[in-house]
Amino acid sequence: MGLLQLKNITKSFGAIHALQGVDLEISLGEAVGLMGDNGAGKSTLMKIIAGNYPPTSGSIEIEGRKVEFAQPIDARETGIEIVYQDLALCDNLTAAANVFLGRERRKKIGPFSMLDYPSMYQKAGELFAELKSETRPRDLVRQMSGGQRQAVAIARTRLSDPKLVLMDEPTAAISVRQVKEVLALIHRLKETGHAVILVSHRMPDVFEVCDRVAVLRRGIKVADKHIKETSPEEVTGLIIGAIEAA
Amino acid sequence: MNSTLEKQKDHAAIDESIILRQEVSGFAAIIRTQPFWVFLALVALAIVMTFVSDAFMTERNIFNITRNMAFFGIMALGMSAVICTAGIDLSVGSLVGLSGIATGLIMRAGYGIEVGFLGCMLVAAAVGLVNGALVAYLKMPPFVVTLGMLSIVVSLARVVSNNQMIWNFGPDQDLYEWIGGGSILSIPNVVWILVILTAIFWWVWRYSTWGRWVIAIGGNAQAAKLAGIPVEGMLVSVYVVCSLCAGLSAFLFVGYTGSVTNAMGFAWELTVIAATVIGGSNLMGGIVYALGAPIGAALIELIRNSLILAGIPALWQQFFVGLFLILAVLLEQVRSRKGG
């Protein structure tokens, strides 16, 4: 059974129809690549799944239950974690502080509850090690490279054990070596039974890690195929409209 | 654990730029902070003054300096919180007047000091609540909101005081004057309060979730919101905290002077903001030092005191406060450009 089911999702901003009747389904252990040109509706779809705003019409179901998200935190509570394109990090805080932002670990000393630094540093260190990132928990995010910042944003999604991880262009601004690491992480997420939606402009990345690719064009899903049944050429054709639908 | 550490090191070795950036801790971290350098300036100025004037390093003079700075230091602690969220509170000076008047009216009417204190803090909290609600929920610019509040509060203070001075504080007058003007172990009571509050704020900024969230909001409010932090509620609480600090300072100052007029606190907000910025706060938000507030306030008071003792006309005082303010910001910029 599908983990996430989007049915007939429509989103209008005034006269602009960003999404028109999009269906999408994803199961645990599956990675779906979401592709499309700028303005095709990828970000809008992601933001609806992430709870940034509700769809104009259509329904979202998680494990067969209909859900409505009023804000991103609601989506998180149902097991959806997002890596935003701008990463949504606080530059003035440490890597560990960002990983635990809003979910700080505390310990009790008498009547006082205080931040548990050792525990958070240790856990953050473990998460970075898992990601094979050289990020250090105590470093300020302001001083980090693009890849390290990416690692912080991804490590944050690993804090809880999410069912679905949305990644918005995670490989757009990082080094070649770190692209490999991010892709390896997506593989690891799949192996451990998570679902991943990857929004990316990079065709090789999508073809390397995804099981399926869905193509949006002008707010309409024009293709949803298994990777093995399609090719980068066909997907490119679908994105730019040279191929009407497949 | 060991092998993962080694792996991390292995990766670090690949990226040379990473190796160059060491984690800093302990003393190395302290000397990177603005309050440390301002503290050095403070010490340097004090050393110079011991040679300039024999009257400087006397117990009486140090007593006066620390007491005078404490009123501003207490307010700067609250202002640091507001400025950390990239906000500003211009209404604290006039709030000193209004909450002072409120205390005076309550105690003159024969109520005890507890009631006076409570009334003072309630007035302060109400003003902070309005400031915070307008900034957080209506998304109005803090500068405009608190500028408007400054004007409203000044006017209210004139109305409720009927533009008269209050010097009769009812049955608890003696106790009140001791709290504001007295001392314990030859250290002024207000200085004790400043020390305790600074320690509390130090703990809050470092170890409390509230402090962590305020700093996060100052760094990236959008990210804080996405992380599930109740940004609006937090902002309201920050403005309330700032106003409560102003109220406390007003309560103590009235006790110290033994009288209150509605002009009390006039233009104090400028001194408080200057002290906060000199102490290392950045108006862009995201930076806060508990120790910065008293150190900034101390530097301003020390400048004032030094000018008097050095025989330079008091008219020059604001000039030097302004100069140090600009120098402090310059210092901060130079340090951050060096990759601080």
Q: Is ipTM beyond 0.95?
A: no
A101, A75, A77: which is closest to A87 by C-alpha?
A101
Output the six-digit token pair for B43. 């010490």
Residues 6+ apart with CB under 8 A from A11: A17, A18, A19, A41, A44, A45, A48, A53, A55, A56, A219
Q: At a CB cut-off of 8 Å and minimum separation 6, what does B120 contact?
A: B99, B100, B102, B103, B106, B247, B248, B250, B251
Name which of B18, B223, B286 is nearest A134 (Cβ-Cβ).
B18
Whose tokens are 């109305």? That residue is B159
Task: Tell me the CATH number for domain B36-337.
Answer: 1.10.3470
> What pLDDT sits at residue B15?
42
pLDDT one-digit tens code per residue, A69-120:
888 888 888 888 888 888 889 989 999 999 999 888 889 888 888 988 888 9
CB proximity list for B244: less than 8 A, separation 6 or greater: B78, B121, B124, B125, B128
Instruction: Spell out which residues of chain A touch residue B209, defining contact as CB-CB under 8 Å.
Output: 104, 106, 113, 115
Per-residue pLDDT at A70: 84
pLDDT per position as a tens digit, B268-324:
999 999 999 989 888 888 889 999 999 999 999 998 888 888 888 878 888 888 888
Residue B222's H or E segment, with its range, is: helix B221-226
Alpha-carbon distance A237 to nearest alpha carbon in chain B (angstroms): 36
Distance CA B161, CA B145 (A): 24
**DSSP three-state, residue A245:** coil
Q: What is the DSSP string of B126-168?
A: HHHHHHHHHHHTS---HHHHHHHHHHHHHHHHHHHHTT--B--
Q: Which residue of B has its CA nearest to A127?
A: B4
Half-sphere exposure of A60 (CA within 13 A, CB side): 21
CB contact (8 A) between residue A72 and residue B228: yes
Q: How far apart are CA A143 and CA A138, in angstroms?
A: 11
> Which residues have a Cβ under 8 Å from the Cβ of A156 and sit 6 or more positions away?
A81, A83, A98, A99, A101
Is there a contact between B219 and A91 if contact means CB atoms under 8 Å apart? yes
Q: How far is it, in rounded angstroms, from Cα A190 to Cα A31?
A: 7
Tell me the shortest Cα–Cα distance from B165 to chain A, in angstroms: 43
Nearest 10 degrees: CA dihedral of B18, B20, B24, B28?
A: -160
pLDDT digits (tens, 9 = 90+) for B12-66: 444 444 434 444 556 777 777 888 888 988 899 889 888 888 888 888 888 989 9
Contacts of B59 (CB under 8 A, 6+ apart): B186
Sorted by where each begins, the domain ranges of chain B are 36-337
Q: For the residues B134-160, what does the mean pLDDT come to?
A: 94
- What domains can you pick out in chain A, each with its CATH number? 1-79+160-246 (3.40.50.300), 91-157 (no CATH)
In angstroms, rounded to a whole number, what is the distance separating the alpha carbons of residues B237 and A149?
Answer: 30
pTM of this structure? 0.86
Cβ-defined contact of A134 to B12 (cutoff 8 Å): yes
- CA-to-CA distance for B169 and B241, rounded, in angstroms? 26
Which residues are CB-neighbours of A225 under 8 A, at least 6 positions away? A212, A213, A246
* Chain B residues closer than 8 Å to A138 by CB: 23, 25
Q: Average pLDDT in the B179-197 region?
A: 91
